[in-house]
Amino acid sequence: MKLIVNGQALEIDASTLAELLAALDYEGDWLATAVNSDLVHRVNRAEFQLSDGDRIEILSPMQGG
Amino acid sequence: MFELLGTTLPSRLFLGTAQYPSPAILADAVQASGTSVVTVSLRREMAGGRDGEKFWSLIRSLGTRILPNTAGCHSVKEAVTTAKMAREVFGTSWIKLEVIGNHDTLQPDVFGLVEAARILCDDGFAVFPYTTDDLVAAERLLEAGCMVLMPWCAPIGSALGPVNIPALRSMRAHFPGVPLIVDAGLGRPSHAATVMELGFDAVLLNTAVARAADPVGMARAFGKAVDAGREAFLSGMLEPRDVAVPSTPTIGRAVFS
């Protein structure tokens, strides 16, 4: 499946958001995820089905003013 | 003590966490400033990365309240989604709402800001809107559900200090019961003292501390300035006069001629 993850085009075998995170070696409870500009809650990642062309943002805490 | 949204804060200084020379200096600056609220952000985590985890551990060790921001957002949609993501990660409904309208001045897009504020307030957020000193925009933000306003006093990172004191004074007078926090543009402790003397409830700053030659010393200086300005406001300052007035009593002075 073709996905855009944090702005980068990837060809990856993952049907759900949780599978995508695992495939890319993301782990931890400090991550926030959005698909096509909408938040996907942590508890919904396992059942959230991805579609070809989806844009995924994976964010974590960072310094800010 | 500062009563804000049902919370008692020991300090009226809010401190940003960006641009410090090192995480250790950030931690020391937070400690020296006496701040009880720090601002944080969300950024892309690269695959397999642990940058966010390290920073998050550091922030939690500081023992302060956290005010996440939506820095860098230029649209209502971006800001709203970022706020929701921040609420999930940081576990707080407080959000410093930024909707930037101009790339050069980083001026808030007050129209988008009001729209985003309404959406987030309706969703249960406590919205701290980064706004200008425009009274009409301020009224719209309050109508949208904001309980706090955060006007700039100069562009972000400019260090210019309060460039329009009459506007800030006017804002304070128009919204006597609303917590007003000056956010952005402060360059030195005297700037912070000045806006606190005007009756603002708190200040939020980052660059002036983080980019100082000694961030820890500057953090301490800002903490003192904020306290001094607040105490001066509460103590009732003398208004400027155009004529000299002797401070030593004239009654009973000797006459030699």
Average pLDDT on B152-165 reads: 93
Residue A35 lies in a domain: yes
Provide the pLDDT for residue B257. Answer: 84
Instruction: State chain B's mean pLDDT as an integer.
Output: 95
B96 is a catalytic site residue: yes
CB A35 within 8 Å of CB A50: yes
Residues forming a β-bridge with B181: B202
Residue B7 lies in a domain: yes
Provide the pLDDT for residue B47. Answer: 78
How confident is the model over B34-91, as pLDDT tens digits? 999 999 999 999 878 788 889 999 999 999 999 999 999 999 999 999 999 999 999 9
- Interface probe for A, chosen from B17, B30, B44, B69 (most Cβ of A below 10 Å), is B44
Q: Which two tokens stand for residue B79?
A: 């800001």
Percent residues over pLDDT 70 in chain B:
100
Residue A64 lies in a domain: no
Residue B104 lies in a domain: yes
Residue B251 lies in a domain: no
CATH code where residue B23 lies:
3.20.20.70
DSSP one-letter code for A57? E
Q: What band does B149 get if pLDDT is binned at 50, 70 and 90?
A: very high
- Residue B223 sits at φ, ψ, to 5 deg, of -60, -45
Assembly ipTM: 0.95
Residue A51 lies in a domain: yes
Task: Enumerate residues 5 to 34 of chain A having a beta carbon within 8 A of any beta carbon in chain B.
Answer: 5-7, 24-26, 28, 30-34
Provide the pLDDT for residue B245. Answer: 87
Average pLDDT on B251-256 reads: 89
Range of the domain at A28: 2-59
Q: Choose, from B54, B84, B96, B224, the residue flagged as catalytic.
A: B96
User: How many other CB atoms sit within 10 Å of the CB of residue B204?
Assistant: 25
Residues 6 or more apart whose CB falls under 8 angstroms from that of B164 comprise B133, B153
Provide the pLDDT for residue B243. Answer: 93
Provide the pLDDT for residue B51. Answer: 84
Residue B247 lies in a domain: no
Distances (CA, A) of B13 to B27, B168, B228: 15, 18, 12
How confident is the model over A16-62, as pLDDT tens digits? 999 999 999 998 888 999 999 999 999 999 999 999 999 999 999 99
- Domain count for chain A: 1
Range of the domain at B13: 2-235
Provide the pLDDT for residue A28. Answer: 83
Q: What is the rounded radius of gyration, in angstroms, for the C-alpha atoms of chain B?
A: 20
Average pLDDT on B6-30 reads: 96
Distances (CA, A) of B217 to B61, B125, B208: 21, 34, 11
Provide the pLDDT for residue B123. Answer: 98
Provide the pLDDT for residue B46. Answer: 87
| Sign of the alpha-carbon torsion through B111, B113, B115, B117 | negative
Provide the pLDDT for residue B50. Answer: 82
Residue A6 lies in a domain: yes
- A65 Cα to chain B: minimum distance (Å): 4
CB B174 within 8 Å of CB B198: no
User: How many other CB atoms sit within 10 Å of the CB of residue B26?
Assistant: 27
- Host H or E run for residue A15: none
> Do B47 and A32 make contact, defined as CB atoms within 8 angstroms?
no
Interchain CB contact of A49 with B (< 8 Å)? no
Provide the pLDDT for residue B91. Answer: 95
User: Which chain A residue has the Cα nearest residue B19?
Assistant: A63
CATH code where residue A48 lies:
3.10.20.30
Percent residues over pLDDT 90 in chain B:
88
- A51 Cα to chain B: minimum distance (Å): 20
Average pLDDT on B220-249 reads: 94
Provide the pLDDT for residue A29. Answer: 85
Q: Which of B19, B42, B46 sits opposite A61 (nearest CB)?
A: B42
Identify which has the larger pLDDT, B172 or B249. Answer: B172
Residue B257 lies in a domain: no
Residue A48 lies in a domain: yes
| pLDDT at position B105 over 90 | no
**What DSSP assignment string belongs to chain B?**
-EEETTEEES-SEEEE--S-S-HHHHHHHHHHHT-SEEEEEEEEPPTT--HHHHHHHHHHHHT-EEEEB-TT--SHHHHHHHHHHHHHHH---EEEE--B--TTT--B-HHHHHHHHHHHHHTT-EEEEEE-S-HHHHHHHHHTT-S-BEE-SSSTT-----S-HHHHHHHHHH-TTS-BEEES---SHHHHHHHHHTT-SEEEESHHHHTSSSHHHHHHHHHHHHHHHHHHHHH-PPPP-SS---SS--TT-----
- Domain count for chain B: 1
How confident is the model over B167-219, as pLDDT tens digits? 999 999 999 999 999 999 999 999 999 999 999 999 999 999 999 999 999 99
Provide the pLDDT for residue B237. Answer: 93
